[in-house]
Amino acid sequence: MLKKNIHILLIEDNPGDVRLIREMLKKSKLAYSFDHAGTLSDGLVKLKEHAFDVILLDMNLPDSSGLDSIPEIKRVASKIPIVMLTGLDDEETAVSALQLGVQDYLLKDRIDRTLLLHSLRYAMERKRILDALAESEEKYKNLVDNSLVGVYKANLEGEILFANNALARMLEYSSPEEMMSVMALSLYKTPKERRNLLDILIKTGKVNNFEIDAVTKTGKTKSLLLSLTLNGDVISGMLIDISKRKQMEETIKHLAYHDILTGLPNRLLFIDHLRLALSQSSRNQHMVAVLYLDLDNFKEINDSLGHAAGDQLLQAVSRRLKTCLRESDTIARIGGDEYGILLPHADNEEDIVTIAGKIISAFQQPFIIGNHTLHTSASIGISLYPYDGADVETLLKNADAAMYNAKKRGRNNYRFYNPAMNARTLERMKLTNSLRNAIESGELVVYYQPQVSIDTGQILCAEALVRWQHPEMGLLQPMQFIPLAEETGLITQIDDWVLRTACTQNKTWQKAGYSPVSIMVNLSSRHFQQPDFVDTVSQILKETGLEPEFLGIEITERTLMQDIDLTIPYFNKLADTGVRFCIDDFGIGYSSLNYLKKLPVQMLKIDKSFISGLSTDPDYKTITNAVINLAHSLKLRVVAEGVETEDQLSFLQIIHCDEMQGYHFSRPLPAKEFPRFLKPAC
Ligand code: C2E
Ligand code: MG
Ligand code: MG
């Protein structure tokens, strides 16, 4: 197959042999060019200057002998095939030459044209195959180096033994060599990810198309698709960068769940969030509010100014609505000019009313679109889970109906689906406002109820109980405003005021010469969550001059159990000053007996429901008796609340209850009536 011109170099010092070979070549039909060197050094020069296809090399040259010539030639022309020319007696050496990489050898004595040509052909063919092989190796190397697939080898210890260019590029290393200087572990976002993969690999021998988060040299995270095989303790890995694909997927997902114009979640996502909120709420007992908002005059704006202005208005409205909401709320565009707002943790109606009010007022400022100043307003319908519906569809339908009601009532307002809610909300809002005023304008009053020893009938304490002298509604009992005060946070102000008033009053009685009693004050759970709670109480004691041992604080069981580990230090700090603690309404909550031991509590008040039950249900006797025994074993004094009859009192005496409080002895009284129970100090 040798069609092209063959460039032959003969390195031979014997002119006779040179001639002979020339002759043979001339007589052949070979297309060739011929050059000749008489010494090895001459031959090397020629090899450097010209390209040859084959070398005919004499074994014995004047400047080199035997096998020494071969490495010299290989150094300058490693890929050119060599055919050795040897004498008969050199045959053994010639075989060694073959081992050194010579293609063939010819015995000078036996050489003829056919043999020479055959040998040249053979050498040439071999060169061609070698070239092809080298070329294919090069191609393969390029393929690995330049492919988009990252390829690497590592051992189980995590040393990278090989990495291709693609992998280095993928992970932002300057070269495969630089990659090989780091450990495989540092390429994973979490060591756990590598450990998991290795576990699978060791068990099964391979891992296919596994998505991992890899970290690049500059610390970026990339999503890679990884396939691994294990051979002995060598891991071969192939990696494809799927970060772009992931981004695309994210974009597609975003588009499917968002409104392109405003970037807000769309109806689908809104429903998803609502469904999630409902399932969470049924677990944690929160209310969920769905607000359906419709712009009042959007159609007119759109028709008169065109769609582009309409679109800009929707975008501006969306931005403004977002500022009215909390991070956890969802606002979605669910139709042309309709928005859905989800409040997943609505603790009380006030929160919802506040947000709805905030949204309505957000529309008071006009929107500037191009050179137009646009005035628009919104109508909002509100439905509440679980009251107005138990599922997504019903809640949406009812919020929508409420929104139409808001439109009917003159637009630019909000309506609850439940008509009673509308009335109640108004009433509560009015009440909240006037309660806020009540504290400032001195409408609150404290009544005092005596707490007496069952054995001696002696007065030991007075419980301070707040009332509200409402200008229109008359004297309001705590149950009519304390829950509202707790919801709105006003309770801390009320309690502080009661605490200060009661301490002042107690000190006044002492100064007036009465024998001292303790004043018991009820504090709501909100107090214990305030870091300055201990300071507030100490400050009030200091200001009023009341010694701490004449103050008792009543806490309900429920309050006690909230964040108990956090609040124990507060209790201890106050108890150290001499203030006493009493557990109120004991029996209806869920105190853990374990905690009772840990707390600085001296007194326990059995809830009045147990005392009123004494006359009707024998079980209550058993329970009350058990509670008293238990309290005594924990060295606590027991007070029975709500004692109304002689029978109740007698029973309590029999079972050794320590103190009692109730109408049987006295109702709560205004401060000026209380001294009738106090004795002069001796
Ligand atoms: P409490 O701390 O358990 O107070 C005892 C309640 O039982 C008082 O109701 C008292 O008037 C009532 N009571 C006393 N003896 C009898 C009786 O023989 N029969 C009946 N049926 N009831 C009796 P009041 O004053 O209406 O207070 C109700 C609750 O409001 C209190 O229960 C307390 O939890 C809360 N409270 C009152 N004042 C304050 C305050 O200043 N701050 C806070 N946070 N809560 C207060
Ligand atoms: Mg109480
Ligand atoms: Mg009580």
Task: Give the per-residue pLDDT at 559.
Answer: 72
Task: Give the per-residue pLDDT at 104.
Answer: 84
Tell me, in angstroms, the distance from the centre of ligand 3 to residue 584's CA. 5
- Would the pLDDT of 73 be above 90? yes
Q: Does ligand 1 have an atom closer than 6 angstroms to the CB of 269?
A: no
Q: What is the 3-state secondary structure (H, E, C) of 58-119?
A: ECEECCEEHHHHHHHHHHHCCCCCEEEEECHHHHHHHHHHHHCCCCEEEEHHHCCHHHHHHH
Each residue's pLDDT tens digit, 172-194: 999 989 988 887 777 788 888 88
* Nearest CA residue ID for atom 19, ligand 1: 642
Q: Output the six-digit token pair for 158.
A: 């995590």
Instruction: Give the range among 74-78, 318-322, 463-467, 493-497 with minimum mean pLDDT.
Output: 74-78
What mean pLDDT comes out for the span 27-45? Answer: 92
Q: Output the six-digit token pair for 513.
A: 């010469």
* Nearest CA residue ID for atom 28, ligand 1: 478
What mean pLDDT comes out for the span 362-376? Answer: 91
CA 22 to chain centre: 86
Q: Does ligand 1 have an atom closer than 6 angstroms to the CB of 607?
A: no
Short-list 318, 348, 350, CA closest to 333: 318
Q: Number of C-alpha atoms within 13 angstroms, CB side, residue 258? A: 12
Q: Which residue has the higher pLDDT, 111 or 487?
A: 111
What mean pLDDT comes out for the span 214-225? Answer: 90
Q: DSSP string covering 331-370, please?
A: EEE-SSSEEEEEEEEE-SHHHHHHHHHHHHHHTSSPEEET
Q: Does ligand 1 have an atom closer than 6 angstroms to the CB of 340?
A: no
Task: Give the per-residue pLDDT at 119.
Answer: 87
Task: Give the per-residue pLDDT at 157.
Answer: 86
* Nearest CA residue ID for atom 43, ligand 1: 522
Which ligand sits nearest to residue 668's alpha carbon? Answer: 1
* Nearest CA residue ID for atom 24, ligand 1: 478
The pLDDT confidence band at residue 454, using thresholds 50, 70 and 90, is very high
List alpha helices for 147-240, DSSP H. Answer: 165-170, 176-180, 191-204
d(CA 184, CA 670): 80
Which residue, chain included where needed, has tokens 């330049």? 146
Task: Give the per-residue pLDDT at 2.
Answer: 42
Tell me, in angstroms, the distance from the centre of ligand 2 to residue 606's CA. 10
* Residue 109 CB partners (closer than 8 Å, separation 6+): 87, 88
What mean pLDDT comes out for the span 57-65? Answer: 89
Which residue, chain included where needed, has tokens 């060197």? 37
What mean pLDDT comes out for the span 570-583? Answer: 92
- Would the pLDDT of 420 be above 70? yes
The pLDDT confidence band at residue 346, using thresholds 50, 70 and 90, is confident
Tell me, in angstroms, the distance from the centre of ligand 3 to residue 348's CA. 25
Tell me, in angstroms, the distance from the centre of ligand 2 to residue 600's CA. 17
Angle made by CA atoms 515, 519, 523, in degrees to the nearest 5: 175
Instruction: Give the range among 160-164, 193-197, 660-664 with minimum mean pLDDT.
Output: 193-197
- Would the pLDDT of 299 be above 70? yes
* Residue 351 CB partners (closer than 8 Å, separation 6+): 343
Task: Give the per-residue pLDDT at 544.
Answer: 97
* Nearest CA residue ID for atom 30, ligand 1: 478
Tell me, in angstroms, the distance from the centre of ligand 1 to residue 652's CA. 20
Q: Output the six-digit token pair for 197.
A: 């993969």
Share of the chain above pLDDT 90, in %: 53
The pLDDT confidence band at residue 676, using thresholds 50, 70 and 90, is very high
* Residue 424 CB partners (closer than 8 Å, separation 6+): 349
- Would the pLDDT of 55 be above 80? yes
- Nearest ligand 1 atom, CA 485: 44
The rounded mean pLDDT for the chain is: 89
Q: DSSP string covering 222-278, please?
A: EEEEEEEEEETTEEEEEEEE-HHHHHHHHHHHHHHHB-TTT--B-HHHHHHHHHHHH
What mean pLDDT comes out for the span 301-320? Answer: 93
Using an 8 Å Cβ cutoff, are 385 and 379 in contact? Answer: no
d(CA 197, CA 213): 12
Task: Give the per-residue pLDDT at 97.
Answer: 84
Instruction: Give the range among 119-133, 235-249, 376-390, 460-474 with minimum mean pLDDT.
Output: 119-133
The pLDDT confidence band at residue 604, using thresholds 50, 70 and 90, is very high
Mutate to test the pocket of ligand 1, among 449, 465, 605, 664 (most ligand atoms within 8 A of CB): 465
Q: Output the six-digit token pair for 394.
A: 């019903």
Instruction: Give the range among 140-149, 330-339, 454-463, 503-512 with minimum mean pLDDT.
Output: 140-149
- Would the pLDDT of 196 be above 60? yes
Which ligand sits nearest to residue 605's alpha carbon? Answer: 3
The pLDDT confidence band at residue 111, using thresholds 50, 70 and 90, is confident
The pLDDT confidence band at residue 285, using thresholds 50, 70 and 90, is confident
The pLDDT confidence band at residue 1, using thresholds 50, 70 and 90, is very low
Go through the domains of the chain in sequence order and give each one's CATH number.
6-143 (3.40.50.2300), 147-246 (3.30.450.20), 262-417 (3.30.70.270), 448-464+491-676 (3.20.20.450)
Q: Does ligand 1 have an atom closer than 6 angstroms to the CB of 449?
A: yes
Tell me, in angstroms, the distance from the centre of ligand 2 to residue 318's CA. 49
What mean pLDDT comes out for the span 438-449? Answer: 94
Share of the chain above pLDDT 70, in %: 97
* Nearest CA residue ID for atom 15, ligand 1: 662
Q: Which residue has the higher pLDDT, 531 or 216?
A: 216
The pLDDT confidence band at residue 146, using thresholds 50, 70 and 90, is low
pTM > 0.75: no
Each residue's pLDDT tens digit, 389-402: 999 999 999 999 99
